[in-house]
Chains A and B, each alone.
Chain A
Amino acid sequence: MKSRWVLFVPLAIMGLLFGAFIYRLTVPGETLIQSQWINKPMPLFDLPPATAGVAGLKSSQLADGKPRLVNVFASWCIPCRAEAPQLEALKAAGVPIDGIAIRDRPEDVAQFLNEVGNPFDRIGSDMQSSVQIALGSSGVPETFLIDGKGIIREQIQGVILQEQVPEIIAKLEAMK
């Protein structure tokens, strides 16, 4: 005769399964899919200056102990113009911001900075979108929150809204 407890195994398996179902019904699935780069260091890159007078950007420069923003933008991007005041506000609050200009000409970048102001400490020129692709960024503008060790903590897709500004300042403050 087989031992009696074996006969309860199917019931136990069912119990486990239903536990998972109940969990899933009470905690609906998270539909937001985060970037694979979150909590990983910035990919390695060394971008030349995007325009005269502003330094280029190296990934090693991002790990200088200060949390910062890296803004992926382009002069040909209309929403990036709309984002400029928010970047200015962040800059005014003492947030260091670096830029990566995507598929841009130096004279256009200069013109753009002239028109909307320059919040960037450094701007790297990503002519082939190679760094953008490596970052898992799908468009412009996008903003990455980097902690002092050069590790990506958050990716913001699209324009930073006015109400997000204090939030971002607080988050960067918390990383210090």
Chain B
Amino acid sequence: MIAELGLALLWIAAALACLSLVAGIIFLRGGPKDLASLVRPASVAQGVLTTAAFGLLIALFVRSDMSVELVARNSNSLKPMIFKVAGTWGNHEGSMLLWLMILSLSGALIAIFERRLREDTLVATLAAQAALSLGFFAFLIFSSNPFNRLPVAPPDGQGLNPLLQDIGLAFHPPTLYVGYVGLSVAFSFAVGALITREIGPAFARAMRPWVLGSWIFLTLGITAGSYWAYYELGWGGWWFWDPVENVSLIPWLAGAALLHSVAVTATRNALRAWTVMLAVIGFSMSMVGTFIVRSGLLTSVHSFAVDPERGTFLLALMAIYIGGALTLFALRAGTVAEGKKFALLSREGSLVINNLLLTTILALVLLGTLYPIVAEAMGEKISVGPPYYNKVAGPLALILCLVMVAGPLLAWRKDDGRKLRSRLPIAALAGAIVLVLLVIFGGHVGILPLLGMAVAGVVAVASLAPLWGRNLRRTPLPTWGMVIAHFGVAVCLAGMGAESAFIKEKLVAAAPGETVRVGDFDVLFKGVKPIAGPNYTAIEGTLVAMSGGKSHVMKPESRMFPGLMGTAPTETNEAALLTRPGGQLYVVLGQPVQGADGRADRYQLRLWWKPLVWWIWLGGGLIAFGAALSMLGRAQLLALWRARRARKEEGRWK
């Protein structure tokens, strides 16, 4: 019954989306005014029903109802409970339902909270959001139904890809999706504003918290994904320039650009058409990313099922949405009055440079990701890897960081550059000291990591410069947020630079009792023993890492997941990590090695000493935290909630 109920809820929610869309269109074309009051509750109900449908899908996974095809293919009754729940979105259909749930919930939240926009713009926004969700409802119901029943229920399910059986699955996809799909709100706002031509500070202020919010989640999602790949895949890398990573980075870059341009529009009523454009681009890139990953155009752990029919469906949807929005933009943006003027040396000027750099990086990453596909269409086979991205995006990103810390020291509209001249030299000095120290003591360091660490030095000091000479207790929260986020970039950059420059790697075949030296650690390999997990068996190695008189036990595992219900068995590596203030020791247990006498008493061990590597994720966390402070500081949600309560109270007494 649960599955049927879930499907029914999806259909009803889709009907409500249809209602919002139609009512919205009729209203905007000058229909009866009452229709507008229909759109809000319909959007809220759609959000509630879709969330309920998703809850029912989770219930099916929790109960291990193998009569449902999705559960039978992706779950197993022996799986630990946390992975049964998280496994709901560890597959194509479930993750699309999660996507749709967030899309519908976003619409519901706009309907509940947004009170500052003109009514027609709000209705247009909600109608646009409904149009978006309608397409994805169709996609889910017609081509990816998660509630599909099997004619005969198998005795048990095929289990979840062991690589996904990690606590990371509980956090990474939902956070990333909230970020991805949260950008849909900016998209809908842009479409709504284009339709009613209300492009100005009010529209920008309405959009701003949404952009900030989704960007926070994108940042967290990418950071979490990076850390997950780092420890789960057993290669010890934190960024591979893999296409699926790129398609998450592209919306993030668009979001970062939008975040800053929307600030200009909200505060200074400038860059209006550009902000609208970016709002369209942001969610378009989310959709393109989803399409690339889900259509099987690129294969990875993220492409659950390769199905050209689904790819075609998604492509058609995207063509309608992105094409429609861009056409609307082309037709309407010309009629948007030019915004306020500003000098090049001003806050706006620096934000424009920031935007240009961010979009250039975005274009370069997009080009690198799609070039192999385009090149193959022309009969050439090419893969684009880290050397390209590091060369083209690296230097631009470093310049961007420098502009980033200069901007906050400039005044809006026009600046004489006084603060810039008095405060930046100190930061430049910090950078120069880092550079000199690295050149003298660092040994042979690549140019990009070297510059990266020097720029990190500049940014670390300069990002704090806006606070100098201020009463810290009276400094508004958004300023704190900006400072912390920009400082986070420095932390992140320092981590990346130090890890790339000073990483130590050892690959050895060691017998129990042997000691391996890596970095400052003497690692004693004590031996291995077999262990059994809830749904796997494993060989667990025991190593003791000794440094400076202290010793730490590390237990890397090599796990074997049996093939369930006719699927192939899989092995995964669980790296053992030892986090120290100076970095992380990373140990992977590999295959047993046969000696000349035929006995397999030695094991492959891979050990890395990664200096400051955890700063990368700390930096990511700081960026998200700063953005969250900024959002809280604007406290719009809270104020809106209070205003809504007050209005209700008033209504009661009338």
Contacts and interface: CB of A to CB of B under 8 A. Distances in A.
Contacts of A14: 284, 322-323, 326
B381 A21 contact: no
Contacts of B284: 14
A174 interface: no
B319 A25 contact: no
Contacts of B327: 11
Given A14-B322, A25-B295, A20 B334 contact: no
Contacts of B334: 1-2, 4, 7
B326 A21 contact: no
Contact of A29 (B330, B333, B370, B376): B376
A30 interface: yes
B480 interface: no
Given A7-B330, A11-B327, A22 B381 contact: no
Interface stretch (B23-31, B307-315, B546-554): B307-315
B321 to A, nearest CB: 11
B contact patch SS: helix
A24 interface: yes
Contacts of B608: none
Interface residues of A, number: 22
A24 B277 contact: no
B652 to A, nearest CB: 49
Contacts of A77: none
Given A2-B334, A7-B330, A29-B376, A18 B319 contact: yes
Interface string A1-12: 110100110110
B374 to A, nearest CB: 5
Contacts of A8: 330
Contact of B315 (A4, A22, A27): A22
Contacts of B315: 18, 21-22, 25
B377 interface: yes
A18 B308 CA distance: 15
B329 A25 contact: no
B376 A11 contact: no
B291 interface: yes
A53 to B, nearest CB: 37
A contact patch SS: helix
Interface residues of B, number: 30
A28 interface: yes
Contacts, number: 61
A30 B381 contact: yes
Nearest to B337: A1
B373 interface: yes
A46 to B, nearest CB: 33
A52 interface: no
B464 interface: no
A24 B377 contact: yes
B369 to A, nearest CB: 11
Interface string B475-499: 0000000000000000000000000
B229 interface: no
B112 interface: no
A33 interface: yes
A23 B326 contact: no
B297 interface: yes
A20 B326 contact: no
A17 interface: yes
A162 B601 CA distance: 44
Contacts of B295: 21, 25
Contact of A20 (B308, B338, B377): B377
12 contacts: A4-B334, A7-B331, A11-B326, A11-B329, A14-B284, A15-B323, A17-B370, A18-B319, A21-B295, A21-B315, A24-B297, A24-B376
Interface of B: 277, 280-281, 284, 288, 291, 295, 297, 308, 311-312, 315, 318-319, 322-323, 326-327, 329-331, 333-334, 338, 370, 373-374, 376-377, 381
Interface of A: 1-2, 4, 7-8, 10-11, 14-15, 17-18, 20-25, 27-30, 33
